[in-house]
Structure 1
Amino acid sequence: MCVGFFIALLDIQIVSASLKDIGGGLSASPDEVASVQTSYLIAEIIVIPMSGFLARVMSTRWLFCVSAAGFTAASLLCGWAWDIESMIAFRALQGFLGGSMIPTVFTTAFAFFPGRKMVVAAATIGALSSLAPTLGPTIGGWITDHYSWHWLFFVNLVPGLFVAIVVPRMVRIDEPEPALIRSADWLGIALMGVFLGCLEYTLEEGPRWNWMEDPTIRATAWTSGLAGLGFLWRSLSYAQPIVDLTALKSRNFALGCFFSFVTGIGIFATIYLTPLFLGRVRGFSALQIGLAVFSTGVFQVMAIPVYAVLARRVDLRWLMMFGLGLFGLSMWSFTPITHEWGWHELLWPQAMRGFAQQFAVAPTVTLTLGGLAPHKLKLASGLFNLMRNLGGAIGIAACATILNDRTNLHFLRIAEHLNAANPAMTTLLQRSQARNAALFVGDPAHAHATSLRQLWSLAFREAQTMTYADAFVVITACFALATALVPLMRKVAPPTGPVTEAH
């Protein structure tokens, strides 16, 4: 099940470093190719909170089997896509069919690993949940550089088929209840789909279209808000809601959802910012970007045995506080960023982030889900996982807005100092004009214009770099708040017997 879980999460970011190649192969504009990632996220974020209900109707093993088989078939179709429209449709199908594999693993772990065994299980699942999106750009860049973008999707075929065949034979922990379909909250499902789908679209596309100034973004934002209010009312008033919001009455679960949300911001926003910086400012290729961010995954893997040992001896709340605090510190260590930063300068901040991810995610899983009553576990797990993806979506949208707005601000501030009274600028411009005059002999106007364009490029590059530092400051503040709230969590004693009623 962890294999399916890993590839479903990996595919969120596996295309991020290769969007330019996909756009070139399908003759798509940058705006169109961005929807390749957006469509997957929209579909996945809709199905994740539905997974608890679907697992009860179909049983865990058959839901996972159908999810893995559908994900594999959709991956094949993505690799065969003939234009950008077909790619967007198949990516949405891939996200919707594969999304149920993510929360199902969390609830199944509590059934398979009772008592103290849950520590190791949570460490493994927590590592995979943050490692997969972290490694996505690295694996995607390597595949695109050595083969072609089509293999970003074809690599899912063998593990997907393996999971679809093996899981039904090995995972026998509950029985299907098809009668639940008759009492399903179809109105709640529809409201939730509209709410999350429109919200995800607004968050993904809003920064590119200047938010509420665009009529489509304005319409989807209002639709999401109204549908969200309707979904909240329906979930609290219906006898068998699609998502169990009453689980939020548990202090640990409510705080755990918030910590999952903040961790999602940190993981996904950093995965968004780092490749973007390396591509736009440094001009790195997809493979170079992948190799530059690879160190995060290495240090997270190194943290797994350390966490497993400490989790048996130290209160999980303090391990989580350490993880969230170190994550925030790693974000702060990105703030001195300059246009010269490459893999060497990124190594230490990314190493801290990789180590911190293990200590931030794994104890959150145990403390959040471990204290719930077994009959609430399935439906609550979908909400818990939704918060991580929602945090990622909001974090990426916020960072994209910061990059857009603050770049203009920094550029204008830099431009204020680029005048005749600035001796450094005057000297630089004179040297540039002298070089360009040798290239454009007899055309001094062209040489002068070229020098001004080069000066503009330098100023814009520095403005961009300063903006990335601003984004990391905001993420640091989120983790500082989360770290301060950890002491409010209650200690959770591991269950003494198998959690059979959870399914």
Structure 2
Amino acid sequence: MAAGRLDPAESAAGHHNPWLIACVVALATFMEILDTTIANVALRYISGGLAVGPDEASWVVTTYLVANAITLVASSFMAKRYGRKAFFLWSIGLFTVSSVLCGFAWSLEALLVFRVMQGLGGGGMAPLAQSILADSFPKEKRGQAFALYGIAIVVAPAIGPTLGGWISDNLSWHWCFLINGPIGVFALALMYALLQDPRHAVEERKRLKREGVRFDVVGFLLVATFLGSLEVCLDEGQRKDWFGSNLIVTFAVLTVVSFVAMIPWLLTRKNPAVDLRLLGKQQYACCFCIMMATGAILISTTGFIPQLVQDSYGYTATLAGLVLLPGGIVTVISTVANGRLSSLIQPKWLIVAGATMMMIGMYDLTRLYGDSTYWFFATARIYMGIGIPLMFLSVTTASYEGLDASQTDQASALINVARNVGGSMGVSLAQNMLAYRSQFHNSRLVESIDPVRPAYQETLRQATQYFSQHGYAGPDAQSQAVAWIGSQLSAQVGYWAYIDVFWCLSIVAATAIPLALILKKVSLGGSAAAH
């Protein structure tokens, strides 16, 4: 055996160069993470192309995240029981096929079904990628391999919105999904040719089969029902008048029943689909909540900022994506810096710093007004770009403190579930709040526009005079003036509603600070890979 190489029988790369495996794993991971952000900027095109509202188009993001989280729950057991290579190939194959189907979707319903399939495929790729890298390299080289993997997971969300915007403007939104086709086939072929299950993984699979260990199907279905039903309630509640709708009542009952049933079931199983006992540990429970808050802010703003600048400021999809690019670049730099800081500073203090930067970014956006410039939005995203890696990487490190080695797979999966579920809930709640506050501000402003008021009459007179000077006859000029006043009212309503959403998100960021302060100290100098 060559120096610095693992025994081929114990390596996921076998006799092949492990860096080939690392590159393919990074490519597959890059493709999967890219799809969590590439569609955000294209939502306006998707909304127009499928003739649905912006709130309905946002389901394209939330359904993917929920399906992704559901698969994460099962990924560890499925890889051990049926083989890491087989499950990874299945995941890439399903993700690739469903991506192409998304590109050819003929309706919103079809697109959502294919996005669920895509999320189910993508959810199994991230945790397996980390295990494959760990089993392909000796300990002294794993840091370099995870560095390559780390580049993929921070660059993908950084360029996703810009790439999605350019594709939408110059090709069509369908290509945001179709580009995964050739990349997925390429990755699938290489993984089939290069990847193998290490000897210890084969022996573990045989042991599980010999002992008759089975997947907790009931627990998995209860978790899936809970997450899926909750998301339907959050996505559809505002549009269906909440509990005035039989649909919402039905799914609310499903949410409560599945939640109540899954707790005793999961706590009493020997091999539960989700180890809820982890959430009984203060350290891990705090990290779980912090990760949910982080996912809610990151993913909701990745969709809301492009939506805001396109709807209210006339930005193209490409320019809307470019608004997020400076923050993405700063995220990459901050990730590298955090790698050094994590060996010197306790995670709790890095989380406090990260939450503070994210809170500043959200607060900065509450100063929104009609003449806000490109750099107004980009600067707020830069603050987030500094804070996001401090939150993500430090939460992952802190979450392992006090856990047994046998719990690390479940802990990693649950932290990723927290990020996805938090992101999905963040998008839904922000969208609901935007709609509710728009109605609220609209009713208040309409009350203040009284035709007999001198201020209104003066504004109408000046606007009518303006349109008269620009070619409109008497009645037409007044009609244009009234329409202009209405458009100004609508614009102001939109600004105030978005400001309320950003205030809410700044409060969410602030809640992470007291949670971080009660975290225990951890041994510094370790490393944690996180997706």
| TM-score relative to the length of structure 2 | 0.84
Separation in structure 1 between the aligned mates of residue 364 and residue 433 of structure 2, nearest angstrom: 18
Deviation at 1:112, TM superposition (A): 7.0
Match of 1:313 in 2: 344
Match of 2:483 in 1: 453
Deviation at 1:10, TM superposition (A): 2.0
Structure 1 window deviating more from structure 2 (275-284 vs 55-64): it is 55-64
Is 1:163 aligned with 2:187?
yes
Match of 1:470 in 2: 500
Deviation at 1:138, TM superposition (A): 1.9
Instruction: Verify the 8 A CA contact 2:66 2:421 in the aligned structure 1.
Output: no
1:6-155 equivalences under 5 Å are 6-26=30-50, 33-105=57-129, 132-133=156-157, 135-155=159-179
Structure 1 window deviating more from structure 2 (33-42 vs 392-401): it is 33-42
Match of 2:331 in 1: 300
1:482 to 509, 512, 517: 512
Kindly indicate whether structure 1 or structure 2 has the higher relative contact order, using CA contacts under 8 Å at least 6 residues apart: 1
Separation in structure 2 between the aligned mates of residue 496 and residue 448 of structure 1, nearest angstrom: 70
Deviation at 1:416, TM superposition (A): 3.8
2:257 to 218, 226, 231: 226
Deviation at 1:109, TM superposition (A): 6.5
Report the CA distance shift for 1:210/1:182 in structure 2 as closer, same or farther (over 3 A).
Answer: same
Deviation at 1:357, TM superposition (A): 0.7
Separation in structure 2 between the aligned mates of residue 73 and residue 337 of structure 1, nearest angstrom: 41
Instruction: Verify the 8 A CA contact 1:199 1:221 in the aligned structure 2.
Output: yes
- 1:66-124 Cα deviation digits (max 9, x unpaired): 21122112212222334444333322211112211133345666767898988888887
Separation in structure 2 between the aligned mates of residue 31 and residue 273 of structure 1, nearest angstrom: 11
Instruction: Verify the 8 A CA contact 1:72 1:161 in the aligned structure 2.
Output: yes
Structure 1 window deviating more from structure 2 (16-25 vs 287-296): it is 16-25
- 1:1-33 Cα deviation digits (max 9, x unpaired): 333233222212322222343355456666765
Instruction: Verify the 8 A CA contact 2:344 2:525 in the aligned structure 1.
Output: no
Is 1:356 aligned with 2:356?
no
Instruction: Verify the 8 A CA contact 1:278 1:342 in the aligned structure 2.
Output: no
Deviation at 1:38, TM superposition (A): 4.3
Instruction: Verify the 8 A CA contact 1:22 1:149 in the aligned structure 2.
Output: yes
Instruction: Verify the 8 A CA contact 2:39 2:161 in the aligned structure 1.
Output: yes
Deviation at 1:455, TM superposition (A): 0.9
Separation in structure 2 between the aligned mates of residue 394 and residue 84 of structure 1, nearest angstrom: 20
Deviation at 1:423, TM superposition (A): 5.4
Structure 1 window deviating more from structure 2 (152-161 vs 490-499): it is 490-499
Separation in structure 2 between the aligned mates of residue 20 and residue 45 of structure 1, nearest angstrom: 25
SS at match of 2:36: helix
Is 1:190 aligned with 2:221?
yes
Structure 1 window deviating more from structure 2 (369-378 vs 71-80): it is 369-378
SS at match of 1:273: helix
Task: Tell me which amino acid in the other structure corresponds to 1:481.
Answer: T
Match of 1:402 in 2: 433
Instruction: Verify the 8 A CA contact 2:300 2:430 in the aligned structure 1.
Output: yes
Aligned residues: 498
Deviation at 1:354, TM superposition (A): 0.7
Instruction: Verify the 8 A CA contact 2:399 2:411 in the aligned structure 1.
Output: no
- Give the RMSD, CA atoms, in angstroms: 3.2
Ranges in structure 2 where 5+ consecutive residues have no aligned partner: 1-24
Is 1:326 aligned with 2:371?
no
Instruction: Verify the 8 A CA contact 1:126 1:365 in the aligned structure 2.
Output: no
- 1:27-67 Cα deviation digits (max 9, x unpaired): 66667655444443342232221212212212333322221
Report the CA distance shift for 1:308/1:82 in structure 2 as closer, same or farther (over 3 A).
Answer: same
Instruction: Verify the 8 A CA contact 1:51 1:379 in the aligned structure 2.
Output: no
Separation in structure 2 between the aligned mates of residue 157 and residue 258 of structure 1, nearest angstrom: 35
Task: Tell me which amino acid in the other structure corresponds to 1:467.
Answer: A
Task: Tell me which amino acid in the other structure corresponds to 1:4.
Answer: A
Match of 2:237 in 1: 206
Report the CA distance shift for 1:23/1:498 in structure 2 as closer, same or farther (over 3 A).
Answer: closer
Match of 2:376 in 1: 345
Separation in structure 1 between the aligned mates of residue 54 and residue 358 of structure 2, nearest angstrom: 32
Report the CA distance shift for 1:165/1:454 in structure 2 as closer, same or farther (over 3 A).
Answer: same
Ranges in structure 1 where 5+ consecutive residues have no aligned partner: none
1:249-288 equivalences under 5 Å are 249-288=280-319
Deviation at 1:497, TM superposition (A): 12
| TM-score relative to the length of structure 1 | 0.88
Instruction: Verify the 8 A CA contact 1:76 1:157 in the aligned structure 2.
Output: yes
Report the CA distance shift for 1:478/1:83 in structure 2 as closer, same or farther (over 3 A).
Answer: closer
Report the CA distance shift for 1:124/1:403 in structure 2 as closer, same or farther (over 3 A).
Answer: farther
Structure 1 window deviating more from structure 2 (267-276 vs 61-70): it is 61-70
Task: Tell me which amino acid in the other structure corresponds to 2:112.
Answer: I
Task: Tell me which amino acid in the other structure corresponds to 2:99.
Answer: S
- 1:144-186 Cα deviation digits (max 9, x unpaired): 2222222211221343234334446357453335627763222
Report the CA distance shift for 1:184/1:170 in structure 2 as closer, same or farther (over 3 A).
Answer: closer
What is the percent sequence identity of the aligned residues? 27
